[in-house]
Amino acid sequence: MSDGEHLQRVTSIGAVLGWMRGWTELWRRFWFQPLGAETLAVIRICTGAMLAYMHVIWLSRQADFFGPQAWINREASQSLHAGDWAWSWFWYADSPLAVYSHLGMAILFSLLMMVGLGTRLVIPLAWFLTLMVCHRSTLALFGLDQVVMMLTMYLSFARSGSVFSLDAKLRDRLGRPPEDSGESWLFPSSKAVDTNRIATRLIQLHLCAIYLFGGLSKMRGEMWYDGSAMWFTIVNYEYQSLDLTWMGRSPLLIATLSGMTIFWETFYSALVWPRLTRPLVLAMAVFVHGGIAIGLGMITFGAIMIVANLAFIAPPFWRRFERVAS
């Protein structure tokens, strides 16, 4: 091998290594750059409240959904999951005591999650207790359950309780615990850490996947193309909570809203990242989900989708908000 060939090979290897280093650095910055917990704390408060509300509703009709004579009895619930990996201890217990205990604890942990007390423990526990409910009541679930579970899962390993929480107040009162101590783990400091970044990124990317597949699935339906989808959404009596049929007098308005919805949903995953388009995409999210909440009677689902979209708001915004509020 001549010196020229050797030099060329070394240069090529160096270029490849440089390219790989560049990608590694991008990966590091995207996933591991430390981040404050303010945004996650706001999501935690809202998600905890929603979880508690969901369990209160389950509790109000525990016999209808979990009892021996439930809509879907234990045997039927198991048959729905025959051959898959879902599992719930409700398949083996339907006594009122067991159900009340489970749902009571779920409400308690959800409320603690909301106020931020013992968040390191109560968030994973709230997630697990809700998971058991989801596998038992599969046929009664909808998008709300999917999004609440997604948010709770990612909050489980972040330090969302380090700010805007009773944990933070306790930590400040007790004084700074030594690093790597159990107390430090239980009442984490509010400094920016990479686990907050990872949780935030996973919420953001999960949301992108939800919108992308939602948009792609709509592309199979002709109503979203001919502009009539919005009409057939607002005249669905079982969903309707606000009479919007007057909009049908303007086919152009109906078609525009249909087109905007499918465009926004499909391209959300691309347009939410640039700073130039992010505010527009998030404003559209509030508009669409606010419309679902008010017009289609799914207040809970619309609200939790708006909460999930908060993941794209940077922590400094909430610090400024806190300063202004206080």
* Contacts (CB under 8 A) with another protein, residues 97-156: 131, 134-135, 137, 139-146, 149-150, 153
Smaller CB separation from another protein, 110 or 165: 110
Task: Tell the smallest beta-carbon distance from residue 83 to another protein (Å).
Answer: 10
Residue 133 Cβ vs another protein, minimum distance, rounded to whole Å: 10
Beta carbon nearer to another protein, 15 or 235:
235
Q: What are phi and psi of 193, to 5 degrees?
A: -135, 165
Which residues, numbered 183-222, are part of the site for another protein (CB under 8 A)? 194, 198, 202, 205-206, 209-210, 213-214, 216-222
- CB of 112 or CB of 149, closer to another protein: 149
The answer to whether 200 and 206 have CB atoms below 8 angstroms apart is: no
Min dist CB 231 to another protein, Å, is: 6
Site for another protein in 233-272 (CB under 8 A): 233, 235-241, 245, 248-249, 251
Instruction: Tell me which residue of 112, 160, 107, 156 sits closest to 133, measured CA to CA.
Output: 107
Token representation of residue 318: 């909430």
If the CB atoms of residues 168 and 272 are measured against another protein, the closer one turns out to be 272
Handedness of CA 153, 143, 107, 314 (dihedral sign): positive
Residue 101 to residue 105: CA distance in whole angstroms: 6
Q: Give start and end residues of each alpha helix (H) in the chain.
A: 3-32, 38-60, 62-66, 74-80, 96-115, 119-136, 143-155, 166-174, 182-186, 194-218, 222-226, 229-234, 251-271, 278-295, 299-309, 315-325
User: Which amino acid makes up residue 220?
Assistant: R
Q: How far is the CB of 109 from another protein (least distance, A)?
A: 17
> Which of positions 38-97 make contact with another protein (CB under 8 A)?
53-54, 57, 60-61, 64-65, 69-73, 75-76, 79-80, 84-87
Minimum distance from residue 69 beta carbon to another protein (Å): 4
Pick out residues in 277-316 that bind another protein (CB under 8 A): 297-300
